[in-house]
Amino acid sequence: MVVMRNMNNLCSLIERRPDAVAMVRGSDAYRRIRGRVLFYGVEDAVAVRVEIEGLPRGRGSCQNPMFAFHIHSGTKCEGNPKDEFADAGMHYNPGNCKHPYHAGDMPPLLGVNGNALSVFLTDRFTIREIIGRVVIIHANPDDFMTQPSGNSGEKIACGVIKRAFR
Ligand SMILES: [Cu+2]
Ligand SMILES: [Zn+2]
């Protein structure tokens, strides 16, 4: 891991304006989903801050929802009647790695009464590389094993990553 002089200030760094933003919206079947994913360049890494609401809720104590979360290599949140976000394409994978070592593989989101909040650090990609690509939230957890995409199920929400000018 890179040495991060500002690690102690990570929480304050993600309070500044982000370098890139994806506004996320749900598919027709998941219209209530909305939120944003904020990307901050932090020395040799990227801090990611995810704020989503309107996610499907679990039905019991052993069904607390978890949603696979990736950057896909496509550039549009469009698709077809069978897969509304089919144009998102495959996981962003410039290094030709296996899942879950794709550059676009990120920690899944935990659903809490339809909300999800996540903050994490990654050095799998740079801000520049992901501009114009898309973030995808899936209906199922990521099993971190099945190829090529972790058996993550339906794409329920999508957002195009855009540069945020500071
Ligand atoms: Cu995905
Ligand atoms: Zn992957």
Q: What is the CA radius of gyration of the chain?
A: 15
Please state, as a whole number, how many other Cβ atoms lie within 10 Å of the Cβ of residue 13: 15
Q: Among all ligands shown, which has an atom nearest to the Cα of 103?
A: 2
The predicted model scores a pTM of 0.93
Secondary structure letter of residue 77 according to DSSP: S
Give per-residue pLDDT as tens, 123-142. 999 999 999 999 999 999 99
Distances (CA, A) of 51 to 88, 101, 152: 20, 24, 20
Across the chain, what does the average pLDDT equal? 93
Protein residues within 5 Å, CB atom, of ion ligand 1: 70, 136
Protein residues within 5 Å, CB atom, of ion ligand 2: 91, 99, 102, 105
Q: Residue 8 pLDDT > 70, yes or no?
A: no
Residue linked to tokens 């998941």: 30
Q: Among all ligands shown, which has an atom nearest to the Cα of 136?
A: 1
